[in-house]
């Protein structure tokens, strides 16, 4: 799915470079926060737009049913087994239309690429066959082969399949053990030879593959949630509300953030988590020692600064010159005329401008972060209350009112509506005056 932000130009400018993109600073020292100047008058339209269901939430049972339906469709249309249909769908990211298109354009090429021989080959019709792995002679009844017909004993098949399954999801693309053969080993062979534990692992890999390889589906990003979401590609709104009550953006899988675009949210989250704000603070509230360059914060006292050991360099906080050069001729120990003179000559313009810009940026960031964090806290409280309502209070209210819980679901819906408004407040921050 193409992102709605693909057409947006993004520039990774330095915070103080004066750039126009992202969270960079403009020439007047104010940061160009895209999230700051939003018009909140559209909130009613946004809420009603979010209520338009353009997605469906899938449980594990739903996923398996969708998967089985897709395999049945491909199997019926192409007149192949369900195991072969499963191999085709996995190879084409579970896109039924893509499978049909490629198959009818060049069936031979698709069969070769996926590992589906055009003709089902049987094992040699002999009472005893030699296993191609252990080279033991075994009765034909204890041997097995994929669609290519290469015979291997049950013990070797079991070990081969078990090793592949325990190695990870790559077992879904398993091929014949014969080095010269590329025939696919499907779920039918797994069910025939694998242990119950390995079968369970294989089914879980297959289930996850249906979601993770399919461009129309994604797992809910909430911790511990096992729901997936099937989305109508091309819909206007990317807001999704999972069955676990977690709201997220389909496009970037961050928390739901309309009306702010995904690019701005990405920059905001990066700004909250990166070390850049520490550097901002250091730049805005400290100066480097002229000798060892270690940053020093001055929060009280006179202008006489002594660096920490082992440096121990003594200097003036104002002009950063050696303290030994200061005295009556510089205006006294507590007033540095050298700094004023140098400042008038423009010696400190760049460093002072940079420090002032850092302070402005830090103040602006703090202003918006406090409001964003407060709304986030309110949202977490609302979700906790909703969970308590669903688990405990709704049942008690049903007993008190003598009504079935199904008749009280409107309370949950009203609570979720309030949650949508909280989500909007999180991102519709007030403009800086």
122-137 residue pLDDT tens: 888 888 888 888 988 8
Same fold, 59-214 and 266-338+352-426: no
Buried b (16+ CB within 10 A) or exposed e, 95-123: bbeebbebbeeeeeebbeebbbbeeeeee
User: Residue 157, CB half-sphere, CA atoms under 13 Å: how many?
Assistant: 22
Give pTM, 2 decimals.
0.60
- In this structure, CATH architecture of domain 59-214: 2-Layer Sandwich (3.30)
- Number of neighbouring beta carbons within 10 Å of residue 404: 9
- Number of neighbouring beta carbons within 10 Å of residue 11: 10
Compare 59 and 367 and report the one with higher pLDDT.
59
Compare 48 and 263 and report the one with higher pLDDT.
263
- Number of neighbouring beta carbons within 10 Å of residue 316: 21
- Show the tokens assigned to 138: 């075994």
pLDDT(47) > 50: no
User: Residue 262, CB half-sphere, CA atoms under 13 Å: how many?
Assistant: 17
pLDDT(356) > 50: yes
Q: Look at residue 26 in the predicted model and tell me its pLDDT.
A: 37
Domain ranges of the chain: 59-214, 215-256, 266-338+352-426
Show the DSSP H helices in 345-408 as ranges: 349-388, 394-401
Q: Out of 101-105, 254-258, 275-279, 284-288, give the one with best mean pLDDT.
A: 101-105
For residue 310, name the pLDDT band (cuts at 50, 70, 90): confident
Task: Give the phi and the psi of residue 240 in degrees, each rounded to 5.
Answer: -130, 135
CATH class for the region spanning 266-338+352-426:
mainly alpha
pLDDT in tens, 329-349: 655 555 666 555 555 665 555
Nearest to 425 by CA among 38, 33, 45: 38
Residue 289 falls in the annotated catalytic set: no
pLDDT in tens, 394-406: 666 666 666 665 6
Q: Look at residue 236 in the predicted model and tell me its pLDDT.
A: 65
**Residue 98 to residue 165: CA distance in whole angstroms:** 27
**Residue 371 to residue 41: CA distance in whole angstroms:** 19
Q: Which of 153, 176, 262, 302 is catalytic?
A: 302
- Residue 166 contacts residue 146 (beta carbons within 8 Å): no
**Residue 103 to residue 66: CA distance in whole angstroms:** 21
């Amino acid at each position: 799915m193409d992102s709605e932000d693909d057409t947006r130009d993004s520039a990774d400018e330095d915070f103080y470079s004066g750039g126009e993109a992202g969270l960079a600073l403009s020439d007047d020292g104010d940061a160009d926060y895209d999230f700051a100047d939003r018009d909140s008058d559209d909130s009613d339209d946004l809420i009603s737009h979010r209520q338009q269901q353009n997605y469906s939430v899938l449980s594990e049972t739903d996923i398996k049913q969708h998967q089985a339906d897709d395999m049945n469709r491909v199997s019926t249309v192409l007149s192949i087994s369900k195991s072969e249909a499963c191999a085709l769908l996995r190879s084409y990211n579970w896109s039924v239309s893509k499978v049909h298109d490629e198959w009818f354009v060049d069936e031979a090429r698709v069969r070769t690429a996926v590992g589906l021989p055009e003709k089902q080959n049987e094992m040699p019709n002999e009472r005893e066959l030699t296993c191609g792995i252990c080279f033991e002679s075994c009765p034909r009844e204890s041997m097995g082969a994929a669609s290519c017909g290469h015979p291997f004993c049950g013990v070797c098949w079991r070990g081969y399949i078990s090793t592949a399954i325990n190695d990870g999801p790559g077992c879904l693309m398993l091929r014949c053990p014969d080095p010269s053969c590329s025939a696919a080993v499907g779920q039918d062979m797994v069910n025939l030879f694998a242990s119950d534990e390995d079968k369970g692992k294989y089914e879980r890999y297959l289930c996850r593959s249906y979601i993770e390889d399919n461009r129309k589906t994604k797992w809910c990003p909430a911790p511990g949630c096992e729901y997936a979401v099937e989305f109508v590609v091309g819909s206007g709104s990317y807001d999704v509300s999972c069955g676990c009550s977690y709201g997220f953006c389909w496009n970037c899988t961050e928390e739901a953030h309309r009306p702010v675009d995904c690019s701005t949210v990405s920059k905001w989250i990066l700004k909250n988590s990166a070390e850049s704000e520490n550097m901002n603070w250091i730049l805005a509230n400290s100066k480097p020692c002229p000798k060892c360059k270690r940053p020093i914060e001055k929060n009280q006292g006179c202008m006489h600064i002594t660096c920490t050991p082992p440096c121990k360099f003594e200097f003036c906080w104002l002009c950063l010159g050696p303290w030994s050069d200061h005295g009556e001729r510089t205006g006294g120990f507590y007033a540095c005329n050298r700094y004023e003179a140098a400042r008038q000559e423009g010696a400190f313009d760049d460093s002072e401008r940079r420090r002032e810009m850092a302070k402005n940026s830090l103040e602006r960031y703090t202003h918006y972060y406090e409001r964003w964090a407060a709304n986030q806290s309110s949202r977490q409280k609302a979700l906790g209350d909703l969970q308590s309502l669903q688990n405990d209070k709704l049942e008690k209210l049903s007993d008190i009112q003598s009504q079935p819980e199904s008749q009280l679901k409107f309370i949950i819906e009203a609570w979720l509506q309030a949650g949508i408004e909280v989500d909007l407040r999180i991102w519709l921050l007030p403009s800086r005056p």
